[in-house]
Each structure stands twice: as structure tokens, then as C-alpha cells.
Amino acid sequence: MPTLTLPTERGALERYATSAPREFPRATPPFPRIALAAAHVVADPLAEQDPWLDVAVDWDRTIAYRRYLWSLGLGVAEAMDTAQRGMGLDWTGAQELIRRSLDAMRDVPGAVMASGAGTDHLAPGPDVTVDDVIRAYEEQCEAVEAMGGRIILMASRALARAARGPEDYVRVYDRILSGVREPVIIHWLGEMFDPALEGYWGHADHGAAMETALQVIHAHAAKVDGVKISLLDKDKEIAMRRRLPPDGRGGVRMYTGDDFNYAELIAGDEHGHSDALLGIFDPIAPAVGGALAALARNDLATFHDILAPTVPLSRHVFRAPTRFYKTGVVFMAWLNAHQDHFVMVGGQQSARSIRHFAELFRLADGAGLLRDPDMAAARMRSLLAVHGVA
């Protein structure tokens, strides 16, 4: 197996020997958990553009990656923050992405997809009102539904700025949930992922915010398929999960958004379990498919054996500042030849250090997720050379 010189967390250099990739079990749904991977977009590296201001997407490679995720039995959460929504990809680009993915999905038997609808075409500001937020949400929800898509109701920066208290959140969500055709997934994205969302649901305290969110969900249980919370706190997720309402479909689902503790949350306890909608599922998709195949056989030992080494990888990818986790996701896609370059929308490939990438390489290798170690090592060497590491 190839060896290469990698910087350590302390800045020293050391030789590192890669290991053989792991062969993960393959299976097809239905799985005992719903697993949606929030998927990244592939930039067009040859486009003539200002890379910090313009958006150029390689649509063929972007859609090919969705087909890859579907081939492993995973669903796709489209046009979410993993696709750099709000950090490079605007609503115009998101609509194109959703349309193209829906078109591709129709050719894939059993494929599942839900798409983000929010208010990101409405810039937060002192003159933006709650009514403006409602109209923005309605515009995006109507657009997704008109394309035949399912909705993930994204958190709104504009609402976080315009709301004067929890009653404004209740008013907005009452209106939107009353108008959607099919049940949606509500996404509560924490401030560690997006600082502009601090105080969401009208409270800085997550416990108080949860009360407002649960009030909305209980009032509209028939229109809520589930809720995804991304607070990176398993105890808060479990506490909310146990208070979600039952209904004729078997209950409102909890979709874990905890990229630090997903394995134990998906496994669950005697009181229930979480389904999943996760950005980390994009780079670790083969392991997720294998773990869910084991869970379908009630083989918890293999489930945990597969996912356990992916957890430190995920915690590294999502380390603070967490909003730059997308860089690690795309880095993994490049190492595994799902794209031929390490260029991102908005120039976000520069958002992490070479030490960060080196540790990510080690952790991915340790989890058996470098599918061709020779190629991955060659690509890593090229990145090291750019950073002056021979």
C-alpha cells in the first residue's frame, strides 16, 4: 500500500502508510431507517468566472453523484446547506439543481429525494417584515411542489432577523404548513452551522426554542413528515424525539442532523430511534449502506463496527467553524475520484488548512473509505505540494 508524508496536528511531518479499503455489504431498500444524504455540488473548474462571486456548476458530475447515492440505497436531500445553499448556491441555482435531480430520479426505480425550500432569495434586513418572510417561503414551496418535489422546510435567516419573538415563528410556520400539499420535513439548523440562525424559534436557549418548535409540530402533525435538528447535541435530540406526536402514519419522525452522534441515535434505544438526514452521509455513503444492511438483519454488532470509525472522521469534518464542513465533503469526493478536481463553488476549497486535510485523509483511510488508496495518495501528494510539503 502507498505511503506518503503528512503534517501532524502539531505541524511536524511524518510518514503515513495507507491501508486496504473496506468492502462494505451491499443491499437494497427498504431499510429499517430512512437515510437521506445531503449531497454536495461539483463546481465547473474551467468556467470563466470570479470564483468568489459567480457560481458555475458541473451539472453532469453533480447529477452523477446523486445517481451514485441512489445506487447505494440512500435517499438524497437536495439543495441543502451541504450543496452550499447560502454559501455560494443561490435560489436560482437551487431551482436548477432541484429540477435536474428530479429529472434524474425518475429514471431510478425506488429513488427517494426531498428538496430544500426556504427564503434565501430574501436578504435579511431592517425593512424585511414577517409578511415578507411568509411570501418568500410560499414562493419557494410552490416552486418545489410545481416541479413535483417533496419539501424540506429550511430555517430562514430572514425570519431570524425579522421575528420579534416566538409568536412570529408560530405565525409563519402555521401559514406555510397550512398551505403545503404534502407533509414536509422541518429543518432546525443550529447556530453552529449558521451563525445568522442564532435564537431561532424566538429563544437563545435551545430548550425554550424546542417548546416553540413542538407547539408548531403538534398543531400541524398531519403536515409534518418529520423534523431534522442539527444542534450537535444528542441529549436534546432524544428529548425532542420522545415528545413528537403520533398520527395515522405512525408518528412524526425525528431525522437526526447530529453529525457527531448519528450512529447511536440511528440505532436508538428502548424508547425509539432517529431516522437520518445528514451531510456526512455524502462522503461515507458506502459505509452507511453497509450499516443499514446489517441493521436490516438485526446485526447491531456489524452496524456499529462499520459506523464506529466514521464518527471521528465526521467529528473532524464538522469541527468548528462547523459551517465549513462542506470543504471536507468535497475533499473526500475528490480523493475518491467522484470528481477530477478540488475546486468548490465560492472558492470554499480554501476554507480548511493542510493539517486539517491531512488528518481527514488519515481518518478516511482508517474507516476504510479510500476506495483506491494509490489514487487517493497521489491526489493528496499533489495538494501537499501546493502547500509546500514535498
Answer for the pair 237, 269: CB distance below 8 angstroms, yes or no.
no
**Beta pairing partners, 16:** 4
Answer for the pair 303, 27: CB distance below 8 angstroms, yes or no.
no
Q: Of 333, 229, 231, nearest to 282 (Cα)?
A: 333
Q: What is the pLDDT of residue 390?
A: 72
Q: Divide the 390 residues of the chain into consecutive groups of 10 and give the mean pLDDT of each group.
A: 93 95 88 97 91 89 98 97 95 98 96 98 97 98 98 98 98 98 97 96 98 97 96 97 76 96 96 96 97 95 97 98 97 98 95 98 98 98 93
The 8-class DSSP code of residue 58 comes to -
Answer for the pair 197, 157: CB distance below 8 angstroms, yes or no.
yes
In the chain, what are the domains? 26-351 (3.20.20.70)
Q: What is the pLDDT of residue 110?
A: 93
Compute the distance between CA of residue 154 and CA of residue 33 in angstroms, rounded to an integer.
Answer: 22
Q: What is the pLDDT of residue 29?
A: 86
Other beta carbons within 10 Å of 239:
13
